[in-house]
Structure 1
Amino acid sequence: MSDTDLFRLFASLMTLLLAAHLMGRLFTRLRQPPVIGEILGGLFFGPSLFGLIAPDAQAWLFPKTGPAASGLALIYQLGILLLMFLAGIQMRAVFARQDSRVVGIIAVVGMVVPFAFGLLLVQVVDLSDVMGKAADKTALTLVIACAVAITSIPVISRIMLDLGIAGTAFARVVLSVAVLEDIVLNVVIAIALGMVDSGKHDTFGAAALLGVGSGYGSVAYHALVSVGFFGLMAVVSVVARRLLGGGPKNGAGLRGGARDLSHSRVAVQLSLVLAAAGGCLFLGITPMYGAFVVGLVAGWGRSQETAGSEPAKAVHGFATGFFIPVYFAVVGLKLDLVHSFAPLFTLLFIAFACVVKAASVYAGARWAGRPPADSVNLAVAMNARGGPGIVLATLSYDAGIINATLFTTLVLTAVITSLMAGSWLERAISRGLLPRTDASLPPVAEGAEGSERSERRPEPAGAGAGQAS
């Protein structure tokens, strides 16, 4: 890489990082998801604004080919890997036995019905105009179905934290359902991406060695591999914990050699993420799925030890400080609201996705015995697609499943539904329709609120990663 290319890379990274953090902080002050600000920070320097005002300068600062573009693409890929790892590790033990029936019914109805409507949409409406260069209708169908059914854990948990309802039974139900949905939908997304990637990397990987082609054989292979990889990582995690035992919690006693051991654990965690990502590439499934599964099996059922440990804090710190904001800024950089924005199509898709998702969650909540007002709040909260919706859009766009127009639509859907959820819940609280306290817990003395309440109430999944995603 020449000095000129290195200078362009440093300049583009500095510009995106500063824009993402400044806009993210602004949106935090406005009590809105900071991820939206980070995307807007990149949008300002993309073809929608900077490219219109100074196209030559924009092309020089953010080239589409060459060493500088490759360097930025590497940071982008590492950002999404770390984002998926943190999303997995932050899916803590939010389930409670008294909520199991409600969570189960809402999860099934609120996920299966929207997914089915998403599948039906592709069959009824001709979406060939928004199909990507991969020209795979089956993968496109799965992506759209996931886009309709998905719920954002980090964004909705951050919204509830800001509104002061993160410790309530309402938050516990929302996050428990979202965890179940995201696990299933991440498997489906991995299958869709694997079907497309198997055609691009025909000289590499297990799919090529086994002679896996297209059609139903490809769907079956990637479904089995995705589920099998999940199961294998879960078994390896359980065996490793039993053999190695527990270490110091929350950084306790990490002095001298113990602190060096903590640094080594950071290296081990990141090595596992990279190894899982590489293994997924060989198997023919998206590497982001590997990072998500590693985080999930590392954090599941070990909320305080894993999410609050020194290694997890270290990874979270540099990921949310650099890699993940740059990733979301690059998402905004890719958005072209001038040439790749179909307002009517976007409006109709958002309306369709919101109505189907909200109606199914409302129906599931009422079936589970929740009162009408609570069911409406659940329906709106679980409409927020946030970070997962944006990740789905970028992965699908990069894989060639969708084109720039649908990419723009899916990103805007994630942004708008997140804003709608935050505004609705804040209004519901101000009107007294959503309590700030959990009636199932005894009152906490005002002076002890900072300590006792944190021990007795489950911390929501994604709370630590809410700033970034």
Structure 2
Amino acid sequence: MSQVDLFRVLTALALLLASAHAVGRLFARFRQPPVIGEILGGLLLGPTVLGQLLPQAQTWLFPGTGPVASGLTLVYQVGMLLLMFTAGVEMRTVFSRKDGRSVVLIAVAGMVVPFALGLLMVKAIDTGDVLGSAANVSALTLVIACSIAITSIPVISRIMLDLGIIRTPFARIVLSVAVLEDIVLNVILSVALGMVAGGKENGFGLAHTLGISSANGSAAYHSVASVAFFGLMVLAAAALRRLPGATSGTADRSLGQVAVRMAVILAVAASCVFLGVAPMFGAFVVGLLSGMAGGLSRSDALGHLRGFASGFFIPVYFAVVGLKLDLVHSFDPWLTGGFILVACVAKASSAYGGARLAKRPKAESLDLAVALNARGGPGIVLATVSYDAGIINASLFTTLVLTAIFTSQFAGWWLERAVARGAFSHDPPDLDPPPDGQLTRPVKATAD
């Protein structure tokens, strides 16, 4: 890398980080999801704003190809891995037996119905208008179905924390349902990404080595690979827990443990690339199993890792998402408006129906439906990885990101008014721990 390219990379990162933090903090100040501010921070530096005012400067700082683009992409990819890792960690200890029936019914209804509708949508639309460069309709079908059914854990948990309802039975149900949905949908998304990666002529990995190239064979292989990977990770985590001192927190006093955890995340993600499993799913599973192992959320090592990730890598990731948005050339108001309408109606009505089947009150069922309709970070991750893989085009990418932003904003507005009318009652003290040790105190704005 030349000195000029190094200067451009460092300048671009500095601008993205400063813009993301500045706008993110502004949003947090007004009790809005900071992640949306971070995306808007990147949007200001992208083709939508800076590209219209100073097109040559924007292209020079943020080129689409070359060493500068590769440097930004590396930071962006690491940020996505750390985002999925921390999201997995935050899923610990949210389940309660007394809510089991409600959680299962809401999760099944809120996931199966929207997912099925997404599958039908692909048959009713012209896929040529939204299909990416990979030209894989099967993968596109899975992505659209997931985008309608997905729920955001980081954003909705941050909203409920800010509103002071994170320890309520309502919050426990929302987070429990979101955990179940996101595990299943991450497996499906991993299958879609694997199908595209395995179908490339210069494909890499086990599927390519085995000569699996047909559409049906690729779908079957990546389905089995994703589920088998999850099972192997569970077995590995169980085996490690049996080792002497495996749950001891004494070693966490060393910053060396940060390096160990980062090495595990990167190694597992690399293994996923070879197996044909989405690396973001690998990071998610590492975080999920680490959090469920107990004691991790209180460790110094995780605190250091989370702090650096939320201070640098994750905000840069979301800023790059905004940088990719081109509202001048890739924004289709009819597609975006129609998709938001269909996605919100499908997700909210099915979650409401599941809550009513579980005999929850009408008012609470409506609040659950709105909360579970927030797509936030997971919806944005789904959009970015699908766009980067060539499954969707720029127009659908813009639509999915705007859908995530709109649903998160609406959920925050709705729940704030529900709190004002006294809709939520709190658990008795210490009845159930919050979903993450960090949620007992203000968290970093960029963790959303």
Considering the TM-score relative to the shorter chain, is it more than 0.5?
yes
1:457: which partner in 2? 432
For the residues of structure 1 that align with 2:210 and 2:88, how far apart are their CA atoms? 30
- Structure 1 residue 244, shift from structure 2 partner: 3.4
Amino acid of the residue matched to residue 437 of structure 1?
H
Q: How does 1:60-459 map to 2 (within 5 A)?
A: 60-200=60-200, 202-249=202-249, 262-302=254-294, 305-432=295-422, 434-438=423-427, 441=428, 453=429, 455-459=430-434
Match of 1:200, SS state, is coil
> What letter is aligned with 1:329?
A
Contact 1:195 1:214 in 2 (8 A): no
Q: Structure 1 residues 371-380 or 239-248, which shifts more?
A: 239-248
Gaps of 5+ in 2: none
**Superposed CA offset, 1:144-193 (max 9, x none):** 00000000000000000000100000000000000000000000000000
Count of residue correspondences = 444
Tell me how far apart the structure 2 counterparts of residues 458 and 157 of structure 1 sit (CA, whole Å). Answer: 14
> What CA distance in whole angstroms lies between the structure 1 residues aligned with 2:214 and 2:156?
37
Cα offsets for 1:399-453 (capped at 9, x unmatched): 0000000000000000000000000011111123x12523xx2xxxxxxxxxxx4
- SS of 2:359 mapped into structure 1: coil
Residue 345 of structure 1 and its aligned partner are, at CA, apart by 1.0
How has the CA–CA distance of structure 1 residues 65 and 373 changed in structure 2, closer, same or farther, with 3 Å as cutoff? same
Verify the 8 A CA contact 1:154 1:465 in the aligned structure 2.
no
Give 1:47's aligned residue. 47
Alpha-carbon RMSD: 1.4
Q: Please identify runs of 4+ aligned residues in structure 1 that moved more than 3 A.
A: 244-249, 461-467
| Partner SS for 2:45 | coil
1:8 aligned partner: 8
Distance 1:201 1:230, change over 3 A: farther
Cα distance in 2 for partners of 1:179, 1:428 equals 23
Distance of aligned partners of 1:169 and 1:201 in 2 relative to their CA distance in 1, 3 Å threshold: farther
- In the alignment, the residues of structure 1 paired with residue 394 and residue 53 of structure 2 have an alpha-carbon distance, to the nearest angstrom, of 21
Deviation of the 1:248 alpha carbon: 4.1
User: What percentage of residue pairs aligned between the two structures are identical?
Assistant: 61
The question of whether the paired residues in 2 share the 8 Å contact of 1:152 and 1:385 is answered with yes
- The C-alpha deviation readout for 1:178-225, integer Å capped at 9, x for no partner, is 000000000000000000001226452100111111311111100000
Contact 2:169 2:425 in 1 (8 A): no
Report the AA paired with residue 396 of structure 1: S
Which whole-Å CA distance do the structure 1 matches of 2:128 and 2:401 have between them? 19
Q: Aligned pair in 2 of structure 1 residues 236, 466: CA closer, same or farther (>3 Å)?
A: farther
In the TM superposition, what is the alpha-carbon distance from 1:247 to its structure 2 partner? 4.3
TM-fit CA distance, 1:85: 0.9
Q: Residues 311 and 446 of structure 2 are in contact (CA less than 8 Å); yes or no, is this contact kept in structure 1?
A: no
